Amino acid sequence: MIDNVDLTLVDWSRAQFALTAIYHWLFVPLTLGIAFIIAVMETIYYRTGNPEWKRTVKFWMKVFGINFAIGVATGIILEFEFGTNWSNYSWFVGDIFGAPLAIEGILAFFMESTFIAVMFFGWDKVSKRFHLISTWLTAIGANLSALWILVANGWMQHPTGMWFNPETARYEMNNFWDVLLSPMAAGKFVHTTSSSFIVASLFVAGISAWFLLKGREVPMAKRSILIAMVFGLLSSVYVALNGDFSAKVTSEYQPMKLAAAEGLYEGTEKAPIMAFGVLTNTDKPLDNSNKFLIKIEAPIPGLLSYLAFGNFDDFVPGIKDLILGNEARGILPATEKMRRGYESQQMLKKLHEIKDKKSEEYKAIYAHFLDKEWLETNFKYFGYGAYYHPDETIAKKNAEQLIPSVPLSFYSFHIMVILGMYFIVLFALIGFVMHKNVLTKQRWLLWIMVWSMPLGYIASESGWILAEVGRQPWVIQDLMPTITAVTKIDATSVQTTFWLFAAIFTALLIAEIRIMVTAIKDGPSNKH
């Protein structure tokens, strides 16, 4: 139970993983997006034979290479942390979680690493066609790497394709295709990669705008902005449209995340979308006080109900419904889920205390774990048992631990959405100005493009904050809370490595920025 948990260890383990993930994600989106932008540019070079396109490709390839190298370094550390800091999690579901990670390393990463060598060093050693194929395969390999990572993450958000083995007390995969093709995994992959394309488009457009402001490399800069504008506009519109699918998946499998993201404390029919607001009184989530100092709702009534369930009149559960329960809507109170989860844990414990596996008692208890009805009504709440307490007052207090940080979820979600709308307007405006052939005269727009580069990263990081903070306290939704997933080590060792990693990652980031700035200032090589 939660009383026996070292919360300091849990907090520092979470902080270290968050630190590594945030730094890693500073490099990944640019890699995923710019690889395809380079592939498109090289395709144009292949078809036209214009050496200026080759020069442009080589310049952006140099930028890609700098970013790719440091991204790999942070990613390797991130995967090792599953073993060092989260060994209980790795033991509990390693058979499932490890499969997509292994495929990512064996298939996607090796493919990417093989063809990236040809892409960088094969210009004069292989044919133009093979070099072009290598560039496309590098881009595809990078995004396939993301696919398998996101499949693993999607499974944590919506566990499927597995069964619980009571003899080993571990989850084991029984349907690989359910894991790969789950709606959560598909939605995360599509949304994450397309948002990464926006980051890359903003980056390419911003750097190119800087060249135009300096009066340097004007033809190359215009070509790059054109490609980035088309790529970015299509991706921005697609991300916005994909939000409908994401809302439906989240409402079905993670209703608490949806409620936190919208700041929806009281469930309601015809639920509106909160355009933006300022939260207050969030330290007492279950009282009846007003939770908004300021709030602005979208003008379309029932829009959240429609996005979540496809009907403007449907009921969307709020935080209080999900914790206190709503009998009329068939929503169990969290304390009941905690009781069922605890009883499931006790039954598993009792099973392992029986020495004679041929006894009738053992067979009777084992049969529960094969009973679909019992699994659906009781064992599905296995993770809630960690918060159970026989004292009703303490149990109700523990139930509040099942509420994620509403401010973090709410603000990260709305920052992401607002910036997403801004990107659509920006890319459309760039396209309009380019159509009028007056881009170089609009210095104000060029400066906006330069200063918009970090906004893509902010939107992307905000999306991940929502994805991970919004599902807390679960490391595996409903099955394993974060407090039971950590490695039992001394908290000071995690604190030490946290500050060590913070120093190393900051040094790597500074190094990349300096190298990148130098490469950009040098501009494209005059050698074709």
Note whether residue 89 is domain-resident: yes
Q: Are residues 339 and 475 in the same domain?
A: no
Q: What is the mean predicted confidence (pLDDT) over 150-177?
A: 90
Q: Is the pTM of this model over 0.75?
A: yes
The C-alpha R_g of the chain, in whole angstroms, comes to 25
Averaged pLDDT of the chain: 89
Q: What is the mean predicted confidence (pLDDT) over 51-72?
A: 88
| Cβ atoms of residues 240 and 424 within 8 Å | yes
Q: How many domains does the chain have?
A: 3
pLDDT greater than 90 at residue 42: yes
Q: Are residues 387 and 423 in the same domain?
A: no
Q: Are residues 273 and 230 in the same domain?
A: no
Note whether residue 222 is domain-resident: yes
Note whether residue 152 is domain-resident: yes
pLDDT greater than 70 at residue 527: no
Q: Are residues 369 and 455 in the same domain?
A: no
Q: What is the mean predicted confidence (pLDDT) over 221-242?
A: 93
Q: Are residues 82 and 105 in the same domain?
A: yes
Note whether residue 85 is domain-resident: yes
Note whether residue 286 is domain-resident: no
Q: Are residues 345 and 378 in the same domain?
A: yes
Name, in order, each residue with C-beta under 8 angstroms of 397's C-beta and a sequence gap of 6 or more: none
What is the separation of C-alpha 331 from the centre of its chain, rounded to a whole number of angstroms? Answer: 28
Which residue range is the domain that position 129 belongs to?
A: 2-254+405-469+471-522
Q: What is the mean predicted confidence (pLDDT) over 520-527?
A: 80
Q: Are residues 304 and 331 in the same domain?
A: no
Name, in order, each residue with C-beta under 8 angstroms of 196's C-beta and a sequence gap of 6 or more: 28, 29, 30, 32, 33, 146, 460
Q: Are residues 303 and 373 in the same domain?
A: no
How would you label 47-73 residue by residue, b for 16+ Cβ within 10 Å and e otherwise?
Answer: eeeeeebbbbbbbbbbbbebbbebbbe
pLDDT of residue 7: 83
Q: Which of 358, 380, 402 is the last residue of a domain?
A: 402
Q: Are residues 393 and 429 in the same domain?
A: no
pLDDT greater than 90 at residue 461: yes
Percent of the chain whose pLDDT exceeds 90: 50
Number of Cβ atoms within 10 Å of the Cβ of 218: 14
Q: Are residues 396 and 429 in the same domain?
A: no
Q: Are residues 89 and 33 in the same domain?
A: yes
Q: Is the peptide bond before 299 cis (omega within 30 degrees of 0)?
A: no
Residue 296 φ/ψ, nearest 5 degrees: -125, 115
Confidence grade of residue 487 (pLDDT, cut at 50, 70, 90): confident
